Amino acid sequence: WQDALFEPDHEEIVVTKRPNEEVLSEHELMELESVTNSKPVKLIIDSGCYAVNSWKRVFINLCGWLWECDAAIFREFASNSDFQSRKRRVVQFGDAGMKRAERIGGSVYVETNYSAQEFLKYSKLMIEKYQDKYQLEAKIDIVLAEGIREAL
């Protein structure tokens, strides 16, 4: 599940924009409302950084990190009604009935056939559940490339 972990560069991200260029900006994951027209490039959890290129990779890496924190809490998601989408479970034991399953640990899998907005929703929900039970105090940020590209 884990993408390449690299050492964070603690340089401040300078936000500049020229016409038709992307802007890099850092956000607290829990503060994001919409991810329309944005692409994640880096997931920062405490002092660890993960190079990501999609909201799917953000979700998978976050799930893996939460699993490492406390697998018992993560296993509870498999029976929690908050992790039931209209058609299938978000987290379950085994991959039966999943469209695009990703193994997180043991026999626990997550569904990865969702929109960026749904990945954000389930990521935030998982963090909230860990904060409630585990007093999770990790700093979880995301670096986004934002910008609208004009059609040629």
Q: What is the pLDDT of residues 61-96, one digit of tens each?
A: 999 999 998 999 999 999 999 999 888 899 999 999
Cα(54)–Cα(66) distance, integer angstroms: 18
CA-to-CA dists, residue 36 to 17, 55, 84, 116, angstroms: 18, 11, 23, 8
Q: Phi first, then psi: what are they for 61, rounded to 5°?
A: -65, -40
pLDDT single digits (tens) 18-47: 445 567 888 889 999 988 778 899 999 887
Q: In whole angstroms, how far apart are CA 29 and each of 42, 89, 103, 118, 139? A: 11, 23, 23, 13, 9
- The pLDDT-based confidence of 136 (bands split at 50, 70, 90) is low
